[in-house]
Amino acid sequence: MKKPLNSNFRRLGLLLVTTLILVTIIHSFAQAAAPRPIRVVVDGTALTMEATPQIINGRVMVPFRAVTERLGGQVNWNGQERSVSVTKGETALRLVVGQTAATNRGRTVTLDAAPVQVAGHVLVPLRFLGTGLGYIVHWDSATRSVIIRPAAEPRAGGIVNLYTSRHYGVEPVFTAFTRATGIQVRFQTGADAVLRERIRAEGRHTLADVYLAVDAGNLWLAARDGLLEPINSAALNRNIPANLRDPNNRWFGLTQRVRTIMYHPDRVRPEELSTYEDLADPKWRGRLVMRPATHSYTQSLVASLIAAHGEARAEEIVRGWVANQPILIDSDTRILETLAAGRGDVAITNHYYLGRLLEANPAFPVKVFWANQNNRGAHVNVSGAGVTAHAPNRENAIKLLEWLSSAEGQKLFADSNHEYPANPNVASHPIIAGFGNFRRDPLNMAEYGRLQEAAVRLLDRAGYR
Ligand SMILES: [Fe+2]
């Protein structure tokens, strides 16, 4: 009797140990799989909140009470209406659980994500709350932190706020500007159309002093919609060539990107290449890699064809491209990698994507060909900026644009993305200087905006998707 009892105990012990080990393993796996909790950092200190923030539909949602109170607002919860009211000075925000329609000082605003109730706590979109209370809200994906800083504060030199779709490499540039002027730079990033919509919706109460965008078409749309105020600046007029800025001085190109022909030298000899128009020749059938019609880069290129040839001839050219059955890829980097991998022989991309790939790998097997050198020149576009119509810090905004057009600003800003400076007196980054000299289409950038709708319709008619 003794032995079986003993072995039963031993079996039970073994079972317990095994279970314990399993539980430990599962627990550590679960911990490894769970994303780090989101932190909300105000003035450098992480906030303690009544519930854990969450990302819903790509938006950071936070429990409203701790955040509002930390940002100096008063909050009121109406359980019957399931609404949150937030006040601070003139500010009055109202949000309702489950509804994307919110109000800011009585004006209706559409939220990207409706407030939700999770385990007894109401979570609201942090950006709407923070911006409404006069703060700049910046998401840092690396640390999964939301950084909240005052949009305006009394400080020597003051501040300038940007809404920018250009997010690569901007921080060192702004740090250098602050060093030079004492003006602090705050910025929020987003897609161009979304940022324009935000400036429009915020109206007189916008925090944005500067709208910084890629592609002249976006700048043109902002100007057309009355979001930008003209600037009368001798420095900007001197530093930025006339074709790279708005004829009415509402926006200024700051860096140049050239959309041109790229090829794999094992499969194409440069003598076979000439123009964008020539890529419609049947000899390129099945050999082209291009960006879809939905991207503004394609639309601006086609706008430049319309400007050069008129709509009928431009459509013939685009139909020729389509007949060559290009591979369509919505990323210039992936287009170049596709060429390198042996799919397709010739592509059209912006030059700096090749610059980046060459910096990472000097043996990257794709070469640049400057298009249309025997006629109007290669297609140029810009990233650029304008000062908003209701800029709270207009003088600082103009100072920022002027500095960005100066030798110091141009060098940093253009080099951060291997772009050509807009200011002709500033030298290019060595990698792209190595692409050689070339002729650029002198067309005014504003034409890309003016002809954008016609280009979109033409692409559709020609069956370019
Ligand atoms: Fe780009």
- Output the DSSP codes for 332-387: HHHHHHHHHTTS-SEEEEEHHHHHHHHHH-TT---EEE-TTTTTT-BEEEEEEEEE
* Residue 230 one-letter amino acid: P
Ligand 1 centre distance from Cα of residue 191 (Å): 12
| Distance (Å, whole) CA 410 – CA 403 | 8
pLDDT value, residue 25: 54
Ligand 1 centre distance from Cα of residue 321 (Å): 22
Tell whether the model's pLDDT for residue 2 goes beyond 50.
no
- Kind and range of the H or E run holding 175: helix 170-181
Ligand 1 centre distance from Cα of residue 352 (Å): 8
Q: What percent of the chain has pLDDT over 70?
A: 92
pLDDT value, residue 90: 77
Phi, psi of 418 (to 5 degrees): 55, 40
- CA 145, distance to chain mean position in Å, is 19
First to last CA, the chain: 82
Ligand 1 centre distance from Cα of residue 350 (Å): 7
Ligand 1 centre distance from Cα of residue 121 (Å): 41
pLDDT value, residue 91: 84
Strongest mean pLDDT among 95-104, 121-130, 149-158, 273-282 = 273-282
Ligand 1 centre distance from Cα of residue 333 (Å): 9
- Report the pLDDT averaged over residues 215-240: 97
Ligand 1 centre distance from Cα of residue 415 (Å): 14
pLDDT value, residue 16: 62
- Kind and range of the H or E run holding 262: strand 252-263
- Do 384 and 245 touch, CB atoms closer than 8 A? yes
Ligand 1 centre distance from Cα of residue 128 (Å): 28
Ligand 1 centre distance from Cα of residue 14 (Å): 61
Go through the domains of the chain in sequence order and give each one's CATH number.
Answer: 39-138 (3.30.457.10), 150-254+383-426 (3.40.190.10), 257-380+450-461 (3.40.190.10)
Ligand 1 centre distance from Cα of residue 213 (Å): 11
Under DSSP, is residue 56 helix (H, G, I), strand (E, B) or coil? strand
Ligand 1 centre distance from Cα of residue 177 (Å): 23
Ligand 1 centre distance from Cα of residue 163 (Å): 17
Ligand 1 centre distance from Cα of residue 168 (Å): 10
| C-alpha dihedral, 306 to 310 to 313 to 315, nearest 10° | 50
Ligand 1 centre distance from Cα of residue 430 (Å): 19
Handedness of CA 185, 191, 192, 195 (dihedral sign): negative
Ligand 1 centre distance from Cα of residue 126 (Å): 28
Segment among 24-28, 63-67, 215-219, 347-351 with least mean pLDDT = 24-28
Ligand 1 centre distance from Cα of residue 273 (Å): 24
Pairing status of strand 184-189 against strand 145-150: unpaired
- Report the pLDDT averaged over residues 392-396: 96
Count of all residues that appear for the chain in the document: 465
- Report the pLDDT averaged over residues 58-66: 89
Ligand 1 centre distance from Cα of residue 381 (Å): 10
